[in-house]
C-alpha cells in the first residue's frame, strides 16, 4: 500500500491537497480534514467522551445550578413580578433560602468531587506516562490561534476548521469561567451566610460584606446569563447540534462532532479503536481516497 | 354497608358541629352600658362636615366586640361627651386618658400614659424646638394605629389549644382577654406583619426623600428606605419572609415606640447598643460583625472603590454576554454556510449542501 502523501489524494478536491488538510494516521491512511461531512452519526453518540464521573458531576451541577439560580435570583430580583411566582411554590423566601443553601452544599460537594477525580486521574495518567497536555483543560497559545482560525472559518476566510484536542477553546473558556465563578460565589456566599464568623476572618468586615453582596449577585447574574444565553444555545441550538446534544447524559459524542471539533482526540482514539479504523477506511474508500492496512 | 353507617355518623357529627358554631356565635356583651349603640348601630349614621368630607359614625357591634378595646366604654375615650344626645364632637380622643378598666393586680385604672411618655421622648415625639411643619409631619398615635373600622385581633394567631390549658387554673374571661390583647403580640414583636411595618414607616414618610430632606435628616436616613429594600433583610421581607428584620426589629426595643437617632445613647442602633440589637437574630455577634453596613448604599462619594467596581462589573457582564453571543452568532452563520440546517432528520439537524463552493 502506498504511504506517501503525494499518492493519496485522488478526489476532485486537488486544490485542497496541503499538509494541513490531510492528516496521516498509520494503518488508516491520509484523512481529509472535512471527512466529518460524510460519516454516519448516531445522535445519542458513537464515541466515548466523558466518564461516568463527569456525567454525574455535570448532572449534579446542572440540577444545583438551576435550583440555586431560580431561588437566588428571584430573591435578588424580589421586586420584579416573576420573583414571587417562583418563590411561592417553593414555600416563600424562608424556605427558598434553605433550599438555596442545601443546593450550594451539594454544588460544593460536586466541586470537591471534581477536584478529587481530577487529581486521582492526573496522578494515574502521570504514573502510566500517558499524560498529554493537549487532552487537558489547560489553556495554551494554540487555543487562541484556534479561536482566530475558527472565526475566520465561520466568516468564510479559512477552508477548514482548526484541529482541536479533547477540549476546544470554547470549552476551556467556559471551564475557566466556572472555576472562577464557583470560587467567587462560594467565598462571597460563605461571607453572606456566616456574617458573624466571616467578620472575624476578613480584615475589613464592612468592606468584605459589601463586596460579597456585590460579587455574589453579579457573578450569579453573569453565570446564569452565560449558561442560558450562550452555553445552552451553543451546545443544543446551533445548527448541527439541534435539538439536543445527548453527550451530557450518555457520555458519548457523535462521530461527526468528534471529527469536526475534536479532531486530535479522534485521531488519538483511532489508535486504540480497530472498529473505528475499519469504519473510517470504508468511508475513505467510498469517497475515493486511498487507504492502507489489511482488514482487521 | 358497614362503611355507610360510618359516613352517616360523620355527616351528622359535622352538621352538629356547624350547628353549634352558629348557635354559639352570638354577640358578646359590649361595654355599652350607656347604650350608645342605640343610635350608633345604624349603618348610615353620618354627615358631611364643614370641609365637605363624609363622616361615618356607625359602630359595628360585632367588629367592636373583637377588638382590643371591646371592654372599654365609649365615654372613657370620648370624654367630651357630657350629656345625651350629645353635641357635635370637636375634641380628638386622648389616648393618654385613664379608662375604667383595672388591669389585674393593679390599683390604678388603665392608661396608655407610659407608652406615650416613651414615645414623646423618642425622635418621633413633638419637641419644643421643632418647626411647625415638622410637628405636623410627625406621627401621632392614630397615624400608625389607624384602626380601620377597629382592626380585629388576628384570631388565627391565637392558639386555642394553648388557651385551653390556661383554663385549668384561670378564669376564662380574664385570661382570654389577656391572651388576645397581649400574648398574640409576644409571638411577634408587634401584631402587625413585617410587610405592614415596612409599609407603615416608608409610605408617605420615610421614603419621601424631599420631605425628609426638608427636615434636615442625614443622607443615610434619606436613603434608608431605598437601601433597606436593596438589602437582604428588605428583599426577604418584601417577599413575605417571617424571619427577617423589619424596621422596628432593629430601631426599637420591645417598647416599640423608643425610636431614636443613632447618635443618642438610648438608640438601639447606637454604636454601643448594636451588639445587643443584632443579637436578637445573629446569635454569635462579635465586635467586628457590628461594623457591617446594614443600610448599604454604594455611592461614588462614600464607597468610591465599590462604586467603580460595580460599573466595571457591568462592563464585564455585558461584554462577555455580547461577546459570547457574537461568537455563537458567527458560528451559527458559518454552520448555515456549511449547509447545516435546523430541520431535524434521524434525531439531529440535517447536513445539506455546502454553500462554500469547496
Torsion of CA A230, A232, A233, A237, to 10 degrees: 170
Q: Which of A46-55, A235-244, B17-26 has the highest mean pLDDT?
A: A46-55
Task: State the angle between helix axes of A141-154 and B304-337 in degrees (0 to 180), rounded to the nearest 10.
Answer: 50
Least confident interval from A3-17, A207-221, B64-78, B249-263: A3-17
Residues B133-147: pLDDT tens digits? Answer: 888 888 888 888 766
The answer, yes or no, to whether residue A4 has pLDDT greater than 70, is: no
Closest CA relative to residue A144, chosen from A114, A172, A108: A172
Crossing angle for the helix pair B304-337 and A205-225, to the nearest 10 degrees: 10
Nearest chain B CA: its distance from A200 CA (Å): 6
pLDDT digits (tens, 9 = 90+) for B223-268: 999 999 999 999 999 998 888 999 999 999 888 888 999 899 999 9
pLDDT-wise least confident of B217-221, B230-234, B267-271: B217-221
Average pLDDT over residues B188-195: 76
**Biggest alpha carbon–alpha carbon distance for chain A:** 75
pLDDT given at position A182: 94
Inter-residue contact B39 to B15 (CB < 8 Å): no
How far is it, in rounded angstroms, from Cα A138 to Cα A78? 39
CA–CA min distance B302, chain A (Å): 12
Please give the pLDDT value at position B272.
92
The three-class DSSP label of residue A244 is coil
pLDDT score recorded for residue B12: 74
Return the pLDDT at B107: 78
More confident residue, A293 or A62: A62
Distance of CA B13 to CAs B6, B16, B20, B357, Å?
10, 5, 10, 86
Residues of B in contact with A36 (CB under 8 A): none
3-state SS track over B178-213: HHHHHHHHHCCCCCCCHHHHHHHHHHHHHCCHHHHH
A13 CA: distance to closest CA in chain B (Å): 8
Please name the residue of chain B whose CA is at the shortest distance from the CA of residue A206.
B292
| Residue B342: per-residue pLDDT | 78
Q: Write out pLDDT tens, residues A189-206.
A: 999 999 999 999 999 999
- Count helices and strands in chain A by DSSP H and E runs: 12, 4
Q: Name which residue leads in pLDDT, A173 or B11.
A: A173
Which whole number is the average pLDDT over B293-318?
91
Peptide bond into A96 cis (omega under 30): no
The residue of chain B nearest to residue A228, with distances taken between CA atoms, is B321
With beta carbons less than 8 A apart as the criterion, state whether A163 and A33 touch: yes
Instruction: Cell 469504519: give the residue.
Output: A279
Instruction: Determine the longest span between alpha carbons in chain B, in angstroms.
Output: 108
How high is the pLDDT of residue A7?
Answer: 39
Q: Which grid coordinates belong to B240?
A: 413575605
- Residue whose C-alpha is closest to residue A267's, from A25, A5, A9: A25
Please report the pLDDT score of residue A102 as a whole number: 97
Query: Which of A22-31, A121-130, B318-327 bottoms out in mean pLDDT, i.e. has the lowest?
Result: A22-31
Query: Is residue B81 within 8 Å of residue B66, measured between CB atoms?
Result: no
What is the rounded CA–CA span in Å between residue B189 and residue B289? 24
Contact A239 B332 (CB under 8 A): yes
Band of the pLDDT at B89, cuts 50, 70, 90? confident
H or E segment at B8?
helix B2-24
Percent of chain B predicted with pLDDT > 70: 84
Q: Picking from B38-47, B79-88, B335-344, which range would have the lowest pLDDT averaged per residue?
A: B335-344
Chosen from A154, A177, A231 to mutate, greatest number of chain B CBs within 10 A: A154
Mean pLDDT (whole number) for B31-49: 85
User: Which pLDDT does position A3 carry in this prediction?
Assistant: 39
What percent of chain A shows pLDDT beyond 90? 53
Q: Looking at residue B55, what is its pLDDT?
A: 84
Q: What is the pLDDT of residue A8?
A: 41
Query: What integer is the mean pLDDT of B78-84?
Result: 85
Q: To the nearest 10°, the Cα dihedral for A114, A118, A120, A126?
A: 180
d(CA A199, CA B278): 14
* B191's grid cell: 401584631
ipTM here: 0.81
Instruction: Test A15 with B342 for CB contact under 8 angstroms.
Output: no
Lowest mean pLDDT among A112-121, B23-32, B183-192: B23-32
Amino acid at each position: 500500500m502506498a504511504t506517501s502523501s503525494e499518492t493519496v489524494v485522488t478526489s476532485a478536491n486537488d486544490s485542497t491537497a496541503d499538509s494541513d488538510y490531510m492528516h496521516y494516521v498509520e494503518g488508516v491512511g491520509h484523512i481529509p480534514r472535512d471527512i466529518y461531512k460524510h460519516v454516519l452519526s448516531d445522535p445519542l453518540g458513537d464515541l466515548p467522551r466523558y466518564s461516568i464521573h463527569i456525567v454525574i458531576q455535570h448532572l449534579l451541577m446542572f440540577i444545583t445550578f438551576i435550583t440555586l439560580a431560580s431561588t437566588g435570583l428571584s430573591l435578588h430580583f424580589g421586586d420584579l413580578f416573576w420573583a414571587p411566582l417562583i418563590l411561592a411554590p417553593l414555600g416563600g423566601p424562608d424556605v427558598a433560602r434553605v433550599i438555596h443553601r442545601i443546593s450550594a452544599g451539594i454544588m460544593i460537594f460536586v466541586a470537591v468531587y471534581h477536584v478529587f477525580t481530577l487529581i486521582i486521574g492526573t496522578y494515574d495518567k502521570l504514573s502510566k506516562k500517558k499524560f498529554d497536555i493537549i487532552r487537558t483543560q489547560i489553556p495554551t497559545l494554540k487555543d487562541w490561534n484556534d479561536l482566530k482560525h475558527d472565526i475566520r472559518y465561520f466568516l468564510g476566510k479559512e477552508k477548514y476548521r482548526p484541529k482541536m484536542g479533547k477540549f476546544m477553546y470554547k470549552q476551556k473558556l467556559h471551564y475557566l469561567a466556572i472555576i472562577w465563578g464557583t470560587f467567587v460565589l462560594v467565598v462571597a456566599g460563605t461571607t453572606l451566610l456566616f456574617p458573624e464568623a466571616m467578620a472575624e476572618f476578613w480584615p475589613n468586615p464592612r468592606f468584605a460584606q459589601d463586596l460579597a453582596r456585590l460579587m455574589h449577585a453579579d457573578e450569579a447574574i453573569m453565570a446564569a446569563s452565560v449558561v442560558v444565553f450562550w452555553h445552552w444555545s451553543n451546545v443544543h441550538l446551533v445548527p448541527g447540534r439541534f435539538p439536543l446534544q445527548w453527550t451530557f447524559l450518555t457520555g458519548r459524542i457523535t462521530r461527526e462532532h468528534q471529527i469536526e471539533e475534536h479532531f486530535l482526540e479522534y485521531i488519538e482514539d483511532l489508535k486504540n479503536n480497530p472498529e473505528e479504523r475499519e469504519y473510517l477506511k470504508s468511508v475513505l474508500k467510498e469517497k475515493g481516497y486511498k487507504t492502507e492496512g489489511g482488514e482487521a | 354497608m358497614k362503611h355507610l353507617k360510618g359516613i352517616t355518623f360523620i355527616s351528622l357529627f359535622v352538621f352538629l358541629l356547624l350547628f353549634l358554631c352558629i348557635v354559639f356565635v352570638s354577640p358578646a356583651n359590649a361595654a355599652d352600658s350607656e347604650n350608645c349603640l342605640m343610635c350608633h348601630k345604624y349603618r348610615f349614621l353620618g354627615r358631611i362636615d364643614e370641609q365637605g368630607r363624609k363622616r361615618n359614625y356607625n359602630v359595628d357591634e360585632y367588629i367592636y366586640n373583637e377588638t382590643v378595646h371591646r371592654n372599654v366604654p365609649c365615654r372613657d375615650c370620648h370624654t367630651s361627651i357630657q350629656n345625651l344626645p350629645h353635641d357635635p364632637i370637636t375634641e380628638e380622643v386622648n389616648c393618654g386618658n385613664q379608662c375604667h378598666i383595672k388591669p389585674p393586680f393593679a390599683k390604678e385604672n388603665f392608661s396608655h400614659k407610659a407608652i406615650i411618655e416613651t414615645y414623646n421622648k423618642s425622635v418621633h415625639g413633638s419637641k419644643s424646638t421643632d418647626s411647625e411643619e415638622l410637628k405636623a409631619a410627625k406621627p401621632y398615635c392614630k397615624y400608625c394605629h389607624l384602626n380601620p373600622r377597629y382592626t380585629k385581633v388576628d384570631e388565627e394567631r391565637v392558639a386555642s389549644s394553648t388557651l385551653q390549658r390556661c383554663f385549668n387554673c384561670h378564669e376564662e374571661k380574664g385570661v382570654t382577654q389577656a391572651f388576645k390583647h397581649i400574648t398574640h403580640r409576644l409571638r411577634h414583636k408587634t401584631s402587625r406583619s413585617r410587610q405592614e411595618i415596612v409599609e407603615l414607616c416608608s409610605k408617605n414618610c420615610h421614603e419621601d426623600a424631599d420631605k425628609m430632606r426638608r427636615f434636615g435628616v442625614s443622607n443615610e436616613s434619606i436613603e434608608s428606605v431605598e437601601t433597606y429594600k436593596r438589602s437582604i433583610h428588605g428583599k426577604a421581607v418584601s417577599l413575605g419572609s417571617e424571619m427577617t428584620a423589619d424596621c422596628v426589629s432593629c430601631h426599637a426595643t420591645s417598647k416599640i415606640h423608643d425610636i431614636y437617632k443613632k447618635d443618642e445613647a438610648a438608640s438601639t442602633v447606637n454604636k454601643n447598643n448594636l451588639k445587643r440589637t443584632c443579637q436578637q437574630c445573629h446569635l454569635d455577634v462579635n465586635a467586628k460583625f457590628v461594623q457591617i453596613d446594614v443600610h448599604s448604599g454604594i455611592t461614588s462619594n462614600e464607597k468610591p472603590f465599590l462604586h467603580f467596581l460595580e460599573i466595571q462589573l457591568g462592563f464585564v457582564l455585558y461584554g462577555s454576554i455580547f461577546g459570547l453571543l457574537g461568537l455563537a452568532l458567527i458560528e451559527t452563520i458559518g454552520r448555515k454556510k456549511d449547509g447545516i440546517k435546523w430541520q431535524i432528520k434521524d434525531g439531529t439537524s440535517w447536513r445539506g449542501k455546502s454553500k462554500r463552493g469547496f
